[in-house]
Structure 1
Amino acid sequence: MDLSLTVLGCATPYPSTDNPCSGYLVSHGDTRVWMDAGTGTLGPLQRHTRLEDLDAIWISHLHADHSADLLTAYYALLFADVSRPPVTLYGPPGIADRLAGFLTNGPVRSPIEDAFAITELHDGHRATVGSLRLTTAAVEHGIPAFGVRIEAENRSLTYSGDTAACPSLVELARGTDVLLCEAESAEKTPDMAHHTPEDAGETASQAGAGRLVVTHVGRFLSPQEAVARASARYAGQVGYAAPGTTFTVG
């Protein structure tokens, strides 16, 4: 069985006409994980799987461009034509109250837990979802934020989430087959909370990743420029997470 990554969107910090915000579908056999639920990703998700068939949702951090479509998923899960038990949701501490704070419109708290079976992430969190093994590591983004390594049948995909270059991401990605790494920043700043493309190349090189896919490329960079700049620091194959693309891992 193939371990695959399908890009639902990768725009930042808001969707463009042809590119939703950050969201990915990780698949292996019958197992399906929606990885980040940024603005606009619920639509293209349904080209590849039904909400009824999702095994889990994994959220890297609570910025809207990575989590906003949880709000519309909530309505789908409780008030529409979707019939299933609550979907497993892995997310940063406080995710349930954050969702409830937006969705509650009266004196009674919205029943978030009727839609989502929530587990809060922490550094070193491990989980098994169907045929997939998920290992989470804290990364550096100025708020609680996480990267994840997903493994199946001796193949591995590592996703940075949003983060500055940091040792914990390098360790999480050590020897991974594919590193999906953000490359938002066009240049270094004193308060870095993201990778530059060069940082993404450095992270992939230090981790010994088999392949680098740059994502979440900022609006002051073109995908072609991001790939070229990352390639200057990484000798392996570098691709871009174009929306609608499916990558086979391994």
Structure 2
Amino acid sequence: MTNDVLRLTVLGSATPYASVDNACSGYLVSGGGTRVWMDAGSGTLAQLQRHVRLDEVDAIWISHLHADHSADLLTAYYAALFADVRLAVPIPLYGPPGIADRLAHFLTNSANRSPVESAFAVHELDDGHRARVGALTMTSRTVEHGIPAFAVRIEAEGRTLVYSGDTAPCANLAELAAGCDVLLCEADSTQAPTEGPQVHHTPEDAGDAATAARAARLIVTHVGRSLTPQEAVTRASARFAGPVDHAAPGATFPVG
């Protein structure tokens, strides 16, 4: 068994907008010849092409419909239908309920609805949704972000990657992450709010989540702009004894 069984490549991890050297949230998950584009924040389609053409992607998985996780679906639509990309069939797209109509509303400026289904074969997620894409199994759970949002557990030959998406600490993420090899967890917030609902992890929350899950490795991502990546890693490390990394743009991590 090689490290190629399951691999995570960071296309971008910036929030809430891309920087000059970091696209918004987006990742390429690959294993056994299967490639999944996981979140499609602004700037990630350009970075995806460093590794794979759009028509070589086996599926796209979207955690929620905030622009820093989904905006490049719009440009992917144009690439798929009106450029040099040649799709044999529409790309399977897994995302929150209503994702197809949301895309169509952005793309349509006439009485005729944009044919998003010509580019994407849409599968709406629900809590516990399970899909097999090539060599990869993807299990999605609802998480707490104030809008419909999901985390995902991706498995291949006993290796396991869990991605939090954007969420406050919650029981569903804890259950999904149990025993994983890698927990890719957002660390957007400087501190938990004293008033109002919490909708993001702090670095300490990410460390606690990895510890509770007995994860082998923690990768913090979606680090808020008031923190440096190293500060986020240091703070998460205070709560998790295992290795902690930052999802730096372009970085590749073997899973397991």
* Shared fold, TM over 0.5: yes
Aligned equivalents of 2:98 and 2:192: distance in 1? 31
| 1:238 equivalent in structure 2 | 244
Pairwise CA distance, 1:167: 1.1
| 1:39 equivalent in structure 2 | 42
State the TM-score, normalized to the length of structure 1: 0.99
Aligned equivalents of 2:169 and 2:223: distance in 1? 15
Letter in structure 2 aligned against 1:77 = A
Aligned equivalents of 2:227 and 2:115: distance in 1? 41
| 2:143 equivalent in structure 1 | 139
What does residue range 22-101 of structure 1 map to in structure 2 within 5 Å? 22-84=25-87, 85-101=89-105
Deviations 1:4-56, CA, capped at 9 Å, x for gaps: 00000000000000000000000003100000000000001000001111000
Deviations 1:138-170, CA, capped at 9 Å, x for gaps: 000000000000000100000000000111101
| 2:224 equivalent in structure 1 | 218
1:200 lines up with 2:206 in the alignment:
yes
- Gaps of at least 5 residues in structure 2 are none
Aligned equivalents of 1:176 and 1:245: distance in 2? 20
1:123 lines up with 2:127 in the alignment:
yes
What SS does structure 2 have at the residue aligned with 1:10?
strand
State the TM-score, normalized to the length of structure 2: 0.97
How many residues align structurally?
250
Letter in structure 2 aligned against 1:51 = L
Instruction: Please point out which of 141, 159, 165 is paired with 2:163.
Output: 159
Aligned CA-pair RMSD: 0.6
Aligned equivalents of 2:32 and 2:108: distance in 1? 37
Pairwise CA distance, 1:188: 1.2
What SS does structure 2 have at the residue aligned with 1:110?
coil
What SS does structure 1 have at the residue aligned with 2:24?
coil
1:229 lines up with 2:232 in the alignment:
no
Letter in structure 2 aligned against 1:82 = V
Pairwise CA distance, 1:92: 0.1
What SS does structure 2 have at the residue aligned with 1:247?
strand
Letter in structure 1 aligned against 2:233 = V
Pairwise CA distance, 1:105: 1.4
What SS does structure 2 have at the residue aligned with 1:65?
helix
- Gaps of at least 5 residues in structure 1 are none
Aligned equivalents of 2:229 and 2:114: distance in 1? 40
What SS does structure 2 have at the residue aligned with 1:185?
coil
Letter in structure 2 aligned against 1:35 = M
What SS does structure 2 have at the residue aligned with 1:102?
helix
Runs of 4+ in 1 over 6 A off after TM superposition: none
What SS does structure 1 have at the residue aligned with 2:35?
strand
Aligned equivalents of 1:158 and 1:61: distance in 2? 16
Aligned-pair identity (%): 71
Pairwise CA distance, 1:192: 1.1
Aligned equivalents of 2:112 and 2:100: distance in 1? 15
